[in-house]
Amino acid sequence: MVAQRRLSWRQLADLTGYHPSWLSKVRHGAPPSADLVRRCDEVLKAQGKLISLAEVKSLSRPAQLPASSAGFVGREDFLSWIKKILMRGRGASSSPIVAVEGPPGIGKTTAVLRCADEIVRAEPDVFPDGQLFADLRGYSPDGEPSRPADVLEEFLVSLGVPVQEVPPRTEQRANLYRSLLSSRRLLIILDNAASSCQVEPLLPGAAGSAVIITSRRRLGALAMRVNVERGELRPLSKAESVAVLSSALGAERAKAEMDSVTTLANLCGRLPLALRIAAERVAAHPHHPVSDLADELAAERQRLDGLAIHDSANVRSAFDWSYHDLGDAEARAFRYLAMHRGPHISVEAAAALTGTPVVQTRRILQKLHEVHLLEGVEVSRYRFHDLLRLFAAERVETDDSPEDRAAAARRLIDWYLFTAAAGGRSLAPFRLNPLVMPEAEPGVTPLRFGDGKSALRWYDMEAANFVAVTRLAIEHGLHEAAWKLAVALFDYFRLLRKPGGIWLATTTLALKATKEIGNRYAEGWVETSLAEGYRWLRRYDRAQRLFEHALAVRRSVGDRHGEAWTLAGLGFLAVDQAHWAEARARAQQAMTIFTVVCDAHGLASCLLTIADSCRGRKRYEEAQGTLAEALATFERIENHDGRGLALAKLAGLHGEHGRHEIALSCLEQSLEARRAAGSRWGEADCLSRRARTLEALDCAERARASWEAALELYEELDDARADDIRAYLDGKGAHVVAGTLSVPAW
């Protein structure tokens, strides 16, 4: 019409009194004001046609966004990511599509609506033709997802198509829908999608519009057919979670009860739905302390009951919709996985727990991950969100018989026991093993290890699970398996690759198991391990009492081999406390028995104690000869950790006589051996010894580097020696406490 009147856009701007830049925006899709339409109609002598056209178009400009949450907090980075994708799509050859995925209750819809609301308010010209919104009901109480044909009908009517003119077939509706969108720019939100097939007919065909999809499952098939940017929402940060609760409580009340607010945020698993429910509950009772609700939710069996409001969705029902959408195999695995209460589980352990082959189990876990009922972690492992674990635990108690649960526990415990025993044989083939192993449960396939390094990798990955697995064994009356697992883990524990608390907690549980079944033989082995754990942590009084009691137990049942190791442990403990005469006496007693039972490893270990007692009495030549004999034995049986410790003791002997160069050479060999054994604590001990030797050689820079390397390892192990080194490096400590000079008591 402008061309028909032979007017330029600048001339039209002059005639209407509007700036040319604004007319340019309208020309490219920005909605005109009623005043501009009226003026243009007058200038162009359109006789009301432009006014009528604008009225029709305004009726077909949908604005369907639901209200965004008033208490929305956080997610700034995620919202910025979505906005950048949508803005980047302007002028592109296809419409930008963002898929926001995540578990139930994570706040996908809330985040997307907030993002859309911010775009519409701040950038009205980006999507001038409106917004479409549809809840696709992928997960809903009635379990019936919306049909694409029905959604298309609603969209077409919203875009100005009379209902009687909507085509009957889905494909026809999709074609008309895409045709209408080809000349418009809309923001389309497809919420709660069930599948890729449900979403595909609802996507624009041409550039201009943009789509945001939310779903509880990974829409992998959709990503294979169209260009989709996928993002996964995770639980809120600690600060964001506290902010959600604080916004409901008010700043003053939240500040006054911050400890309880923080506890409540953690109990909610930082899940937005749970946080909003908790916030509503505490806000509804301003005269009750926040700690009341925190105390209520602290009991795991009551937590999901507490995260509910009678007239609103609750956490349990949100999870339930996803659970009931699972196939039988996936639902069963989901339930059984709750029995494994460690922080994560491997595919192989899950296969034992569920009694299914590894290949099939891997597919099942992948499906659970795709619907965000499991989180994937490194090295093909999976974990639950805390609240999902509680829900799964409820389901396994409700849906599975006690007999089935007991059988699952036996399979899982056997898998850990036999795998740990195989790892011990790889780590310490030189050891005379005290365990007599039964047959594994049918369907259990333990791991096998080609060498000690592969065994160590498995132990390191599983270390955080050992306490939970031992506790599960005791809960199901599998006391024999519980104590044998602790014994099978000793060769890993002695390398101290993880904080010693895991050693103590696992072995303390195992000791209770031995007493529960009255197995005195088992009690002696487990109690000696526990005593050794306390010795490594420098809790000498506790270690002394445990060693002495274990010695009495072993003598009462006639366990001569076990008696020798407990005597050896008492000798190591005496060395740590510089009680030289006692150390020598205990070692000699142990050596007599080790000779009878032909335990070369035990003999060499006691030789180190004899050497220490010689040094304590200034008998250096005898000490050197004894250490040389121990070193030769450790080399013959290929005990790298023992070899490393013998070399470290030789270095100490040379250092005391001023032969620092020879000492340094011994320490370099010792460091190599400790690393070959995989002993992080041994490596840290050797690094600190090397640092002292380098200082004696006036190599300050190298010495500091060695101190810092030792400090890093001690910190990783949560060892108190880290404080000694840190104080020394800061100039606040006169010396560093030396590492223990003896070997583990087996």
Position 511 scores a pLDDT of 98
C-alpha to C-alpha distance for 650 and 621, rounded to whole angstroms? 11
- Start-to-end C-alpha separation, the chain: 97
CA distance 151 to 193: 12
Please state, for a pLDDT cut of 90, what percent of the chain lies above it. Answer: 66
Q: Where are the alpha helices (DSSP H) in 123-181?
A: 148-158, 170-181
User: What phi, psi does 686 have (nearest 5°)?
Assistant: -65, -40
Give me the mean pLDDT over the 130-145 stretch.
85
Compute the distance between CA of residue 663 and CA of residue 660 in angstroms, rounded to an integer: 5
| Inter-residue contact 559 to 571 (CB < 8 Å) | no
Q: Are 225 and 97 in contact (CB under 8 A)?
A: no
**Segment 601-624, tens digit of pLDDT:** 999 999 999 999 998 677 888 999
- SS3 of 637, please? helix
Pairing between β-strand 210-215 and β-strand 131-135 as defined by DSSP bridges: unpaired
Instruction: Give, in order, the Cα–Cα distances in Å from 380 to each of 102, 413, 464, 591.
Output: 19, 20, 16, 46
Per-residue pLDDT band for 738 (boundaries 50, 70, 90) equals very low
- At residue 189, what are phi and psi to the nearest 5 degrees? -115, 120
Supply the pLDDT for residue 206: 82
Residue 739 scores a pLDDT above 70 = no
User: Which of 529, 537, 413, 428 is CA-nearest to residue 475?
Assistant: 413
- Tell how far CA 319 is from the center of its chain: 20
For 558-586, how does the pLDDT look when each residue is reduced to its tens digit (9 = 90+)? 999 999 999 999 999 999 999 999 999 99
| CB 688, CB 710: distance < 8 Å | yes
pLDDT of residue 623: 92
| Residue 460 vs residue 32, higher pLDDT | 460
- 654-668 pLDDT tens trace: 998 899 999 999 999
How far, in Å, CA of 577 to CA of 737, rounded?
Answer: 12
Amino acid 740: pLDDT: 43
| Cα dihedral 172/173/176/180 (nearest 10) | -170
Closest by CA to 625, choosing from 600, 606, 594, 650, is: 650
Closest CA to 196 of 171, 173, 174, 225: 225
How much is the average pLDDT of 308-334?
A: 89
What angle do the packed helices 358-370 and 328-337 form, to 10 degrees? 90
Query: pLDDT tens-digit profile of 89-104?
Result: 665 667 899 999 999 9
Which pLDDT score is estimated for 348? 97
Count of beta carbons in the 10 Å neighbourhood of residue 286: 9
Residue 30 is predicted with a pLDDT of 56
Mean pLDDT of the region 478-505: 93
Among 563, 497, 570, 584, which residue's Cα sits nearest to residue 540?
570
Tokens of 657: 């006589």
In this predicted structure, the answer to whether residue 141 has a pLDDT above a threshold of 90 is: no
Map residue 211 onto helix, strand or coil: strand
Q: Mean pLDDT over all residues of the chain? A: 89
Give Rg (Cα) of the chain.
Answer: 35
Report the range of poorest mean pLDDT among 24-38, 208-222, 306-320. Answer: 24-38
Flag whether pLDDT at 4 surpasses 80. Answer: no
pLDDT > 60? residue 745? no
Distances from the Cα of 510 to the Cα of 372, 501, 529, 531, 659, angstroms: 35, 14, 10, 13, 46
Predicted confidence at residue 737, as pLDDT, reads 47
pLDDT band at residue 52 under the 50/70/90 scheme: low
Decide if pLDDT at 479 tops 50: yes
Tokens of 309: 């409001």
- Count the Cβ atoms, other than its own, within 10 Å of residue 422: 18
Q: Is the pLDDT of residue 373 over 80?
A: yes
Q: Is the CB of residue 680 less than 8 Å from the CB of residue 719?
A: no
DSSP 289-309: -HHHHHHHHHSHHHHHHHS--
Mapping DSSP to helix (H, G, I), strand (E, B) and coil, where does residue 339 land?
Answer: coil
Residue 254 has pLDDT above 70, yes or no: yes
The answer on pLDDT for 534 being more than 70 is yes
The mean pLDDT value for 71-84 works out to 87
Q: How much is the pLDDT for 718?
A: 86
Q: Dump pLDDT digits (tens) for 459-468.
A: 999 999 999 9
Asked whether residue 35 carries a pLDDT value surpassing 80, the answer given is no
Is residue 436 within 8 Å of 405, Cβ to Cβ?
no
E strands within 35-162?
97-101, 131-135
